[in-house]
Each structure stands twice: as structure tokens, then as C-alpha cells.
Structure 1
Amino acid sequence: MQWIHFMMLMVIFLPTVFLTAFTPYFTRRTESFGVTISEEAYYSRPLQVMRRNFAALNITLQLILLVICVWGTVSRSDSYAQGVWMGVYTIAMIIAHFLTLCYFHFKMKKYKAEHLSDTMHTSKLILDTKFRDRKLALSNKWYLIHAAIILFTAIFTIVSYDKFPDKIVMQYDFAGNPSTVKDKSIGTVFMPVIMQAILTMMFLYINTIIHRSRQQVDTDNPEVSLKKNAVFRMRNSLFNFVTSIMFILLFNFIQMTMIYPVNPDLTFIVVIAMVFVILAGVTVLFITTGQGGSRVKSGGKPSAVTPRNEDDNWKLGIFYYNPNDPSLFVEKRMGFGWTLNHARPAAWLLLIGLFGSIILVSFLVP
């Protein structure tokens, strides 16, 4: 196996193993494996043990899969077979993580019914009508920088069109040899520009979600909760912006290499370095911020008050389905970030639009 392939496996997949394994530590303190609890219960001994068991089981399963993937790719010499092994590993990794989450979700539901039912009381819903007036995310105007970079790339492509070779390398294998070569066309030449535009719209959309998603307030200390949530949104917005700029500049680099070829190893190093920086940023964001700002330090003792119970609206603790909630975006219960309210038709339209965009790109870039 080529060294570049090994680096990709270690840089991309190994951090992912540990990030997924410690998912329960990044969630809100009022939720455990998708089940509503109090902060006091979160820090109880049984739930601490449950989180450690989840992490140990997840790391064990994921590392076994990673070792199998490494063995499979080492035993194959052609890049196509290696790619198949990596694809199968990715799918297996997602399935293993999903099944582990489901197992502990049902285990948590059973524990709550047997040991925490006496602590569950009817709680009120608190909303801050001035929450949107806070500085929750970067202004979408910041993405005009992306538009300027895309415009520059497009003008450069038009002016330099005659300089592009008749045969354009679209993909290299892990040995650095061209694996996909296309004839020069508008689609192949403008591929980086198209990808820049699509990615900019995607990241702009994410920034809008960060600002407009439903607020989630802890009833025991609402003001502290709102401040934490504002920090959570702003940090995610900043991370989203920096990541988007990195992707836009990466496609600028790819566009330049079409005219001025560079050693494929350098291209791989650039891509791996970018992935490493992004994953490092994700790790720092998870550890320092947590879901909803749960890891932002505020002082005070864990609350014994259980927040509003919405367990019935969360299927498997992962999928939110509430026809009575007008919100389209809500915070995840297991994991980091936001998810859709699948009871809203607009949510399914968004999913269809996402897959439709992927299919469209495959036609635009032959």
C-alpha cells in the first residue's frame, strides 16, 4: 500500500473513530442517548458507566473495521479495489455507529423508566422573543468573499481557456498515476468553478440554519442557557465560514494545476493537510463547545430539574418528527449540530434537492 493511502486512512478515519466514540460526551447535559434527563442525572454514576461502555464498545468495533480495511487495501494492488474497500469500510463504520447508538438509546430508555420516572415532572416551555436580536451567527454578507473568489476563478478560466490541455486529468490513483482522463470541454474546464458555486451555496445555507434554527432553553437557568446557545451558534458559524474558504481555495488550486501540472504527491499532501486541519478544528469545537454550548463553562451546580420532555417526538433518539412544531431545523440529540423536522414537507423537499444537486453535478461534470 502506498504511503499516501496509509496517510489518508489515518488522517481521515482514525480521528473519526474517536469523535464518534465520544459522542455522548458532547451532547447536552439534559439528554442521554437521545433521552431527556436532568443535569444531576447526567453526572450520576450509572450514566457515567454507560457513556464509558459506549465509548469502549464503539472504539473496539471501529478499530476492528479499520484494521480489516487496512488489510483489505494492503492485499490489493489496483486503486479501484482499494477504493471499493474504503467505500465498504465507510458504510460499515456508519452502520456500526448507528446500531451502537440505537442499542444504548433503548438501554437508556429502560433505565429511565426503572430509575428516573419519579424525577419526571411537567415542565414549562420558555422562549426568548428577543433571542434573534442577539449576535448568533456571521452575516451572510461575509460570503461575498466567496463570490469574489469564484468570479476570479471564472474569469481566469475564460481568459486561459486556450491554455488548458486537450486531455485533462480529473483523478489520480493512490500511486499518483492518472486514473480518470477527460477530453477538454466546458464541463471539465469549469468543474472547479461549478464546485465552488455549489459549495458556497451549501455553506451559506448552513449558516442560515445556524441563525434560524429553533432555540432550546433550559428551564432552570434560562439566561445562562441562552448565552451558551449563542456562543454555540457563533462558534459553529465561524467554523463553517473558515471551512468554506478552505474548500473554495482548494478548488482554486485544482484549477491552477490543470494548466500548470504539479507532482500528484503535492496535491495529495495539500488535500490531506486540509482534511487534517478541518478535523482538528472539529475536535476542538466539540471539546470546547459541545452540543448547544453544553461544554461552555458557566459555573453553578448541576440542576435537578428535568427539561421539557419531547422523547416521543424523537424516533430512536435521532430522527425528529413533530407535526405540531413549525420549526424546520432543531438541534440534534445524539451528535453535534442540527437536524430536520421530518414531519415538515419542506424537510423532504430539501433532502430531494440535496440528492438532486449531486445527480446534477454528475451530469454537468462528465
Structure 2
Amino acid sequence: MSKTVFLLIMIPDILLLNFFALYFPKFTREGIFFGVRIPYGFKELKEFKELEREYKRNYAISMLIPTIALILIFFFAGMNAIIKSVLLYTYLIPAAMFLNYYKIYKKVLSIKKKSNWFEGKTQVVTVSLKRREDIKNYPSKLWFVIPAILIVFNIVITILRFPYLPDKLPLHYDINGQVNRWGDKSFSHFIAIFLVQVGLFALLYLIYRLILKGKLSISPINPEKSQETNELIKIISAKHIIILAIVQQFIFVLTNLNMLLILNLNLMTSLIVALTLLTFLVIVLFAIKIYNLIKHPLKNNLDDEIIERDDDEFWKMGLFYYNPDDPSLFVEKRIGIGWDFNYAHPVGKAVAIIIILTLLSSAIFILWLPL
């Protein structure tokens, strides 16, 4: 793969990650600011607007030197160094995001403790009696037949084509698109693709189901409108997952056709770049649509006698839900888009351990990659 092709594939991902890192505190419900529960309408206060600008400024400064270094490496280093640097850079983005977020989170908590906004108020939790699965216009699970067909197609065409392949197959290409490593013909070379395909399909279908069953918070200020917004978010999120599932399986099919010597490298690369850009566009449009649904501020409820429950104690660092008294496994994210685990649940604890071990092992692997 050439530097240019690699750049075309990675730039959308890097820009998207930085965009979400810069604006991710915006993707919250009204009444939540940097992971802290506040009265409705208070996000517009001058003090909070300044804290938001401080976060963006600090994040941009944090990523300035790594970004300059990545650009220099791309122009003056070899392909191995570029790949390693891009992987490290993608780890730096969430690290810089969290550190700068946590700094503002502590400041907001301090302001809240001094202000006593919730003192003397009746705090309530609004719950919908409607079954979570009863959402009109939620996309049908039959859409997943398309990626399933692509998986079957990949397996069948491999079985049919395999006997006609030469004894030696290209396994790796240099930056100029020339084969620099050959291997004996073996069906095991294709099994890895099938396993990843099936695993990704299962993961995205699971996410699709979790979106449907996920617990959502409903505002007591306007519960009907809040319920409607919740359902729209679920519908949009599910459509996004279905599109990703189909596009990703197309990418696997293209890769496999190249390995079967049906599709040449240049055409495969061009099509994958196009699909990657399409995925990038879908994610951006999805984020904009969700943001437009949740950005509209509700009235200031500081003078109301009844307000939404202050549940900060259950959100560690304003990000991770930990409530032993809540039997729910999945809850709506406090910040961001989608759903997360209740980490007090046994399954949630197991998932947290797996995530931590995966991140640590991945970081070690990246650091040990040769330049």
C-alpha cells in the first residue's frame, strides 16, 4: 500500500476522532454538563461557556505537537514508522480528551457544591411504562440478511475458486503495490477473513439489539417530548449500525476477491477508499442528526419545586455508570452517543476487565512494533 493510499484511508478516521474529541461534551442531554447534573438551561451561563472554551483550547494545545510530529513522520519516514505512529496517535486522542475533560469535570463539580442548586427540591425519576421493544419505525432485523448474504458469498466463491489458484499466493505488498512476500496455497489464509467477518457481523447485530433494549433517561420537564426524542435516537442509531454492517462486509468481500486473484490491487484499494469515505460521511451525518435532537435547551427549572434526580453519585468521573441497586445491564451514555454498561453488574465488571486488558495489550503491541 502506498503512502498516498494509506493517507486517504486514515485521514477521515483521524479527523473524525479529533472532531468527536473536541466536541464530545456537546453530545449530552440537556441538564448534563461535563458529566455533572445541572439545572436545565444552565449550559448557556457565561461561566459554563467559558469552561467549554477552556476544554477545547486545552485539547487543541495537547494535540498540536503530536499532530505536527505525525505530519513530519509521514513525509520523512518509512511505511512501518508511519503505521506505528498513526496507531500511537489514535491512542493519544482519547488520552488527551479524558485528561482535559476530567480537569473541567472537577471544576464543574466544585461550582455545583458551592451553589446548592438542588437543595430543598423534590427530586424525581421519570420512567416510561412502554415496552422498550415497542418502537414504531425501528428498522427491521431483516436488513442484516444483506451482510449475512455477503458472508455466505465470500465463503462460497472461495470454495469454488480455490482449486484454480496457483501454488504460490501473494501475501503482502510493498508501498509501491509490488508483491514482496509469497506463500503456499492454503485455505487457512482465507479462514481468518471469514472469522473476522462473522465476528464483526455478530458484534454489530448485538449492538443493534442493545440499542433497542437500552435504558434511556426521560426528562420530567417534558416527558412526552423526551420519550419521542429517545425513540428517534434509537431509530437513527440502529440505521447507522445497519449501514456500517453492510459497508464493512463489502470491504471484506473486496479484500477476499483480491486474495482470490479476481480483483486487482489498484481497483480493490480504490473501492475500499471510496467505501471508507462513505462510512466517514455516514458517521458525520449520524452525529449531526443526533446532536440536533439533543441540543435544544429546556427551560430553567431552578425555581421549580420538582426537579430531575441528582444522580452524580452513580456516575464515576461523570462517565461510568456504577449502581448496584439498578438491575439494568445497559444504560444510555452520560456523554456521547449510544449505550454503555452498568459496571456494578457482574457482566459489566467482566467487560471492564476485558476492555482494560485489551487496551493494555494493544498498547504494548504497538510500542513493540519495529520501525
Partner residue of 1:113?
113
Partner residue of 1:245?
246
Distance 1:102 1:353 in 2: 23
Partner residue of 2:231?
230
Deviation at 1:116, TM superposition (A): 5.1
In the alignment, residue 57 of structure 2 is paired with which amino acid?
A
Q: Please, which moves more after superposition, 158-167 or 123-132?
A: 158-167
Partner residue of 1:128?
128
Contact 1:136 1:230 in 2 (8 A): no
Shift of the 159–262 alpha-carbon distance from structure 1 to 2, 3 Å rule, reads closer
Deviation at 1:274, TM superposition (A): 2.4
Distance 1:355 1:112 in 2: 31
Shift of the 176–76 alpha-carbon distance from structure 1 to 2, 3 Å rule, reads same
Alignment of 1:183-222 (within 5 A): 183-222=184-223
Q: Give SS of 1:158's match.
A: helix
Contact 1:54 1:104 in 2 (8 A): yes
Deviation at 1:41, TM superposition (A): 0.9
Partner residue of 1:104?
104
Alignment of 1:318-357 (within 5 A): 318-350=319-351
Q: Please, which moves more after superposition, 254-263 or 15-24?
A: 254-263
Q: Give SS of 2:225's match.
A: helix
Give a deviation string over 1:187-239, Cα, whole Å, max 9, x none: 21233322221111011000011011112101111110000000000000001
Contact 2:254 2:272 in 1 (8 A): no
Deviation at 1:265, TM superposition (A): 4.2
Give the TM-score normalised by structure 1. Answer: 0.87
Partner residue of 1:89?
89
Aligned-residue CA RMSD (Å): 2.9
Distance 1:20 1:217 in 2: 26
- Structure 2: gaps spanning 5 or more residues: 362-371
Q: Give SS of 1:160's match.
A: helix
Distance 2:170 2:326 in 1: 49
Alignment of 1:1-366 (within 5 A): 2-77=3-78, 79-115=79-115, 117=117, 121-132=121-132, 133-135=134-136, 137-178=138-179, 181-260=182-261, 262-290=263-291, 293-295=293-295, 301=299, 303-304=301-302, 306-350=307-351
Identity across matched positions, percent = 24
Aligned residues between the structures: 355
Give a deviation string over 1:161-206, Cα, whole Å, max 9, x none: 1133434445545443446654332221233322221111011000
Distance 1:179 1:338 in 2: 44
Shift of the 62–165 alpha-carbon distance from structure 1 to 2, 3 Å rule, reads farther
Q: Give SS of 2:117's match.
A: helix
Q: Give SS of 2:340's match.
A: strand
Partner residue of 2:366?
none
Contact 1:146 1:248 in 2 (8 A): yes
Q: Give SS of 1:153's match.
A: helix
Q: Give SS of 1:330's match.
A: strand
In the alignment, residue 280 of structure 2 is paired with which amino acid?
L
Give a deviation string over 1:11-69, Cα, whole Å, max 9, x none: 22123212210112221111111111122112222112211221222233224322211
Distance 2:68 2:210 in 1: 37
Q: Give SS of 2:331's match.
A: strand
- Structure 1: gaps spanning 5 or more residues: 360-366
Distance 1:136 1:32 in 2: 31
Contact 2:172 2:181 in 1 (8 A): yes
Q: Give SS of 1:130's match.
A: coil
Distance 2:73 2:312 in 1: 41
Contact 2:31 2:37 in 1 (8 A): yes
